[in-house]
Structure 1
């Protein structure tokens, strides 16, 4: 991986002529993303994210923290003990420059020896497992990192709306897709292109089934304005 997402984040943080990220998926057209959005403060976050940050408690793990905006709020405003992790070395460097005290380059699937009261999987964070057939293994790992009475807060979207309707009013899903929420992501930045990677948007019912299969209870906390939602998993 060229870590272009992280490069854009670090360029923005250091004032190194940041440009918009170009994203495209297997089911959507090319789109430009202003990197500044990843640096939003609490009042500019979607309500679902604000709600998640209000519910966060105790010792916190922010998985796939990106530019660290959620961690920064929890550390500085809520005064919680927050650990921010991401596989992007550039993003973690930006997090450290922003003042996050515990920011580490770390794959959550390889994390050992620590437990947390709240684990955040924000901005479709559960999708980092890439494929639906990996979600149960992913959630099992996440569960192993929770203290007794701990919680997982995650947001995602049901992207069924992006598919065309057939003559019967159902949705037309291509036959070569195992699950309609699975997409292939392409990211470009400053005329460089990242290797395509798998990502997943998981609808609530599918998440609920996977959660129950891995010993979680699953609660729908909040529905957003555009097919998105906030869920809480607890043991």
Structure 2
């Protein structure tokens, strides 16, 4: 079953919530994504997400919309917002929650319109999968922007997950890959989805990638746990 995430959200939406989504990654032990958290209101969101929503302008594309909590908040504020997700289950939930404009698609396959704001929250840059895909990913995002548009994304520097030595350096496996690259797998009600690549990008690495792809990259705020919000705009 490929859409375990969408199925979990649909169950919650129908009032059939009995368990959370289990996650397994190549870096860490098993963890869970609490399904109710994906349906959070603005007041329950981390400061980074609240700030991103406050910086949204004009016509908005919420990429990797999930249960649509960010899109719904903006729509209720009067924004013209489209929720995009490659999960049919997620988009069904977005529709049931009242989001007017939705798209089932991978963002890399989507090129229909241009937007004033692209939102990629909950480590949305992770959709690039691997660091060597980041340039193509950023170029595609740039192609979806209006000339004065902005991309608002958050990510984390997961260096903290590696062991530190006495002089403050980190022990990072030297296997030729970027330390933020992870393989994830999700499980819900005993069924596992397909493993997928995900990447956490530290701010300096993101800024360098933007610089070589015609984008300005501004650090908006840093969170409490090595996370940050960045605002990307097209170079003038």
Question: Could you say which TM-score interval applies, normalised by the shorter chain?
Answer: over 0.9
Change (3 A) 1:124 1:84: same
What SS does the aligned partner of 2:29 have?
strand
- TM-score between the two structures when normalised by the length of structure 2: 0.96
Q: Which whole-Å CA distance do the structure 2 matches of 1:106 and 1:18 have between them?
A: 28
**For residue 133 of structure 1, what is the aligned residue in structure 2?**
132
Q: Which whole-Å CA distance do the structure 2 matches of 1:99 and 1:36 have between them?
A: 18
Aligned CA RMSD, in angstroms, stands at 1.1
Shift of 1:169: 3.3
The within-5 A match list for 1:151-166 is 151-166=150-165
Deviations 1:9-46, CA, capped at 9 Å, x for gaps: 11111123441111121111111221000000000000
The within-5 A match list for 1:111-190 is 111-166=110-165, 168-190=167-189
**For residue 104 of structure 2, what is the aligned residue in structure 1?**
105
Q: Which whole-Å CA distance do the structure 2 matches of 1:33 and 1:145 have between them?
A: 30
The within-5 A match list for 1:22-33 is 22-33=22-33
Q: Runs of 4+ in structure 1 displaced over 6 angstroms? A: none
Shift of 1:177: 4.8
Q: Which whole-Å CA distance do the structure 1 matches of 2:59 and 2:47 have between them?
A: 23
**For residue 206 of structure 1, what is the aligned residue in structure 2?**
205
Query: How many residue pairs were aligned?
Result: 234
Deviations 1:74-119, CA, capped at 9 Å, x for gaps: 001x210001100000000000000000011011111123100000
Q: Which whole-Å CA distance do the structure 2 matches of 1:221 and 1:144 have between them?
A: 22
Does residue 64 of the first structure (1) align with residue 51 of the second (2)?
no
- TM-score between the two structures when normalised by the length of structure 1: 0.97
Q: Is the 8 A contact 1:153 1:231 kept in 2?
A: yes
Q: Which whole-Å CA distance do the structure 2 matches of 1:93 and 1:219 have between them?
A: 34
What SS does the aligned partner of 1:171 have?
coil
What SS does the aligned partner of 2:30 have?
strand
**For residue 218 of structure 2, what is the aligned residue in structure 1?**
219
Q: Is the 8 A contact 1:139 1:211 kept in 2?
A: yes
Shift of 1:178: 0.8
Deviations 1:40-87, CA, capped at 9 Å, x for gaps: 0000000010000000010000000000000000001x2100011000
**For residue 13 of structure 2, what is the aligned residue in structure 1?**
13
Q: Is the 8 A contact 1:126 1:200 kept in 2?
A: yes
**For residue 48 of structure 2, what is the aligned residue in structure 1?**
48
For structure 2, list consecutive stretches of 5 or more residues without a partner in the other structure: none
Q: Which whole-Å CA distance do the structure 2 matches of 1:196 and 1:157 have between them?
A: 21
What SS does the aligned partner of 2:134 have?
helix
Q: Which whole-Å CA distance do the structure 2 matches of 1:37 and 1:177 have between them?
A: 35
